[in-house]
Amino acid sequence: MNGGPQTSVGTSAVWVDNKGTGRVVNSANELRVSPTPGAASTPGLEAPSDLPYDKPGSLLFRTLTYADLRALPTEPAALKNELIRLSGASAPTIEDLYDRMGDLLTLQATPPGVRVGLARLLMDNGATVLGPVQDRNGRQGLGVAAPLADGSRRVFVLDTTTYRRLGDFTVPAGATTSAAAAIAWNTVLDNLIVDSTATR
């Protein structure tokens, strides 16, 4: 689930095979008076859809096998270099790296040592540990606030045992690091390994 300054809210389910192809199923989006869950809303511009998906160039959906994931380094500096290589960008921004880090923190198959390395990499890039924080769905996890170039902060909410990403949200400069102050957010509702992309 994601939202942003226009308070357009919807849900996407992405089903991807190891070749980077699959399906993306989108709910009809809604326009909220405010980003607060339960706020008054009206139908948005996007209708429900169930479409083929093919983004082999992005990190999450490229051909990364279990062996590839297990081969990722766990030392933060080496892991950052690998993320830059995998991104395919000549000069990725810090936001690009946060996106790639979020991808790997979400994947069920990412080894625990790599998740710990990603958490350490966040710290090395100026992130601060907030302690217990709730995501947009009210689930509690470990909050890690990562600075962005415009002074806003992206707060990753991680499972306290596995370091898997429950979600993240962005708060503007000077705002409290609470999901209620979020101007954009992503919530991982589920992450499963299935037999085929036709499974729902």
| 199 assigned to some structural domain | no
| 128 assigned to some structural domain | yes
Whole-number pLDDT of residue 13 = 67
Number of structural domains (the chain) is 1
Burial 9-24 (b: 16+ CB within 10 A, else e): beeeeebbeeebebbb
Give me the half-sphere count of Cα atoms (radius 13 Å) on the Cβ side of residue 91.
0
Report d(CA 197, CA 200) in Å as an integer: 8
Whole-number pLDDT of residue 56 = 44
User: 140 has which bridge partners?
Assistant: 134
- How many residues would you count in the chain? 200
For the chain (200 residues), the mean pLDDT of every run of 10, in chain order, is 49 63 63 51 56 51 68 93 78 82 84 91 90 91 92 93 89 91 82 62
pTM of this prediction? 0.71
| 28 assigned to some structural domain | yes
| 25 assigned to some structural domain | yes
Burial group, residue 181, by CB count within 10 angstroms (0-12, 13-18, 19+): middle
| Residue 97 DSSP class | H
| 37 assigned to some structural domain | yes
Q: Are 87 and 97 in contact (CB under 8 A)?
A: yes
| 196 assigned to some structural domain | no
Helix (H) or strand (E) holding 14: strand 12-16
| 59 assigned to some structural domain | yes
What is the radius of gyration, based on Cα positions, of the chain? 17
| 195 assigned to some structural domain | no
What residues make up the domain containing 10? Answer: 2-187
Q: Which two tokens stand for residue 35?
A: 């980003």
